[in-house]
Homo-oligomer: A and B are copies of this chain.
Amino acid sequence: MTPGVREDGPAHRLEAQIRHDLRQDRLEAARDGLRHLSPAKAGRFLGRTEPGSLAVVFRLLEKAVAVEVFAALEPRQQSNLINGLQDEDVQVMFAQLQASSQARLLDDVPAEVAQRLLGTLDSDQRADAGRVLGYPPGSVGRRMGPVLIELRPEMTAGAALRALRDSGVPRRRLRRLVSLPVVGPGHRLLGMVELTVLASAAEGAGVVDLMSTDLETVATTEDDEAAARRLLDEDLLALPVLDETARIVGVLTLADATRILAEEETEDAARSGGSEPLAQPYLSTSVGRLVRSRIVWLMVLAVGATLTVQVLEVFESTLEEMVVLTVFVPLLIGTGGNTGNQAATTVTRALALGEVRAGDTLRVVGREFAVGLSLGAMLGTLGLVVTGLIYSWPIGIVIGLTLLSICTLAASVGSMMPIIARRLGVDPAVFSNPFISTVVDALGLILYFFIARAVLGL
C-alpha cells in the first residue's frame, strides 16, 4: 500500500531546486522553476511552505496559475495568504471564486477583512455570496455549486448537446456538467441525466427517456457531510439541491462530496488522535499553532487521568502490603486501553460509513461484549500462565481474572462511546478517546484491586 512510493522523481527534484533557490534569495530562478509546476502541484508546493514564506512564493506564480491555485487552497491557507498580498491581487482572485468558496473564506477571516473583501464584489456577486452565507454553516447550501444549464424533457439528445455547446459555461466550471438537471415549468426538477449517457445516445433519443427519475435529492439546509456520504453511497455523480418549493437551486457534485469528506477525514483523524484539526497542510503550520491544537485535549485527558490517581490513593494501603502489584499496573490498564481503542475505532469507522446506526446500540454492544470476553479469556489465560510461573499462582490468578474483566469491560465501553456520541450529536472520534481512557483506566484499576484483595486475602 504505502511501500515503494517514489520519492526522488523529477517533480520532487524540481521542487527541491525551487526551495533551494528561494533559500538563496534567487527569486528569478525560483519564479522560473515555479512556471513548470501545474496549478495542482503549485498548490501542494505551497502546502509544504513555511507560513512566513507563503506570500513570497505566491507572488512568484504567474497570474493565471495564481488564480487557479488560490481557488484550490483550503480557506485557512487562503486567509493566511491574504495578509501578505496586495489588495488588488486579492480582489481579482476573490472575485473569481465560486460563491460557496467565497463564503467559506469570509468565514475564516477577521471581520474587517471580510468587509473589505465583500466590498470588492459587484452587486450580483455580493448577492450570490450573501445567499450562500444565508445558509447555516455545515449545510449543503454553503457547499453547492450553481445550476449551469437546465435541460427540458421534450429535448432530443442532439438538441441537449447543442444547448450545452451554446451555454457558454466557463472552462473551469465544465467538470460540473457530469450530470445535468431536467426541469419543467418553474424550475421544478423532473430528472437528472448523465452526460456520458447523453453523449452515447442516438441523436434523436428523447431526454425524457434517458433521464433518471427515481431521484435522490437534498435540501439546502441538510448537513453537508451526510449529503456527501449519501452521494457516494448511492453511487451518484451529482445530487440536485432543492429549496422548500422543490425548485432546483444548486448542484452538489461528486467532486464537492469528495472534498467535503476528505476534510472530514482529516478532522476526524486529528480528533481521534487527540488534537484539534489543523485546517492546513502540516509543514505550513507553525509550531505555535500545532501546540495550540493539542494542548486542550492533552489537558482534558490529563485531568481525566487524575481519576486514576484518586483510585490508587484509595488502594494505597493494599499497594503497601504488596508492592509487587504495582509492577502490573501499566500492563493492565494499557491492555484495557488498547482493547477499548480497537472497539471504538471499529465502531466509529462503521458509523462513519453508515454501516452502523444509533439504533444498533444493543446489537453492537452485545457483539463487543462477546468479543471482549473472548479476547480477555485468551489474554487472561496467557497472563495467568506466564505470571503464575514467574511469580506465584495466586498472583497469576489475579492477573488472569483482571485481564479477562478489563478486556470485557473495555470492549463494551469502547463500542458504546461512539454511538452515545452520535446520539448526543457530538463527533464520535472526539468523544470516545478521553472517555475510554478515563473510564476504562479507573474502573480497571478498581477491578484489579478488588480481585487482588479477594484472591490474595488482603
* Residues in A lying within 8 Å of B, measured CB to CB: 1-7, 12, 38-41, 44, 47-48, 72, 138, 161, 164-165, 167, 169, 171, 174-175, 177-178, 194-203, 214, 223, 225-226, 232-235, 237, 254, 258, 264-267, 269-270, 272-275, 278, 281-283, 287, 290-291, 294-295, 297-299, 301-302, 305-306, 308-309, 312-313, 316, 319-320, 323-324, 326-331, 333-335, 337-339, 341-342, 344-360, 363-364, 367-368, 370-371, 374-375, 378-379, 382-383, 407, 422, 425-428, 437, 441, 445
Contact = CB atoms under 8 A, between A and B. Distances in A.
Given A7-B358, A379-B302, A425-B4, A345 B161 contact: no
Contacts of A225: 1-2
Contacts of A422: 2, 5
A375 B298 contact: yes
B297 A342 contact: yes
A353 B428 CA distance: 23
30 contacts: A1-B267, A2-B351, A2-B426, A5-B223, A5-B226, A5-B422, A38-B234, A40-B233, A41-B234, A44-B233, A44-B355, A48-B355, A48-B356, A72-B235, A167-B200, A169-B200, A270-B349, A274-B342, A275-B342, A283-B360, A287-B367, A299-B378, A302-B334, A302-B338, A305-B334, A312-B326, A316-B326, A316-B327, A323-B323, A334-B441
A73 to B, nearest CB: 13
Contact of A329 (B294, B316, B330, B379): B330
A425 B366 CA distance: 38
Copies of this chain present = 2
A330 B327 contact: no
A433 B405 CA distance: 23
Contact of A345 (B232, B275, B323, B371): B275
Contact of A223 (B1, B339, B375, B445): B1
Nearest to A301: B338
A256 B3 CA distance: 20
Given A270-B346, A283-B350, 4 more contacts: A174-B196, A274-B338, A308-B330, A337-B337
Contact of A379 (B169, B267, B269, B299): B299
A4 B136 CA distance: 13
Given A165-B199, A346-B275, A312 B338 contact: no
